[in-house]
Amino acid sequence: MFTPKYPPQDTAPAPAIQPQTTTPVASAPVAPAQVPVAPVANRPTIQLTPGSALALAAGGGAVVLVVGAVLVSMLLAVAITGMSVAVVAVVLKSLLKDLDKHR
């Protein structure tokens, strides 16, 4: 009942492995390698005017301020939750201690 039951052995024949033979190749003179040329981009380049650069910087600054405010508010929420849990733990400990004294 508790002895393992193994599947029957595979009866497929093993694949025949043929040895590979290598033949020496006569070395030919090596030509100098050509340097690849970088392809020319067909897309137009982006040129920033002083006004658009200022708008881009202001937009980036606004994004940084919004993300910073969100992260600070999340940190503040975690800190307030932690403090409230600590206060509840102290109050419960005090109530349980008073409950044990009056019995």
Please write the tens of the pLDDT for every residue from 17-27.
776 776 666 66
Listed in sequence order, the residues at least 6 apart from 56 whose beta carbon sits closer than 8 Å to its beta carbon are: 48
Whole-model pTM above 0.95?
no
Please write the tens of the pLDDT for every residue from 78-93.
999 999 999 999 999 9
31-52: b (≥16 Cβ within 10 Å) or e: eeeeeeeeeeeeeeeeeeeeee
CA distance 80 to 74: 10
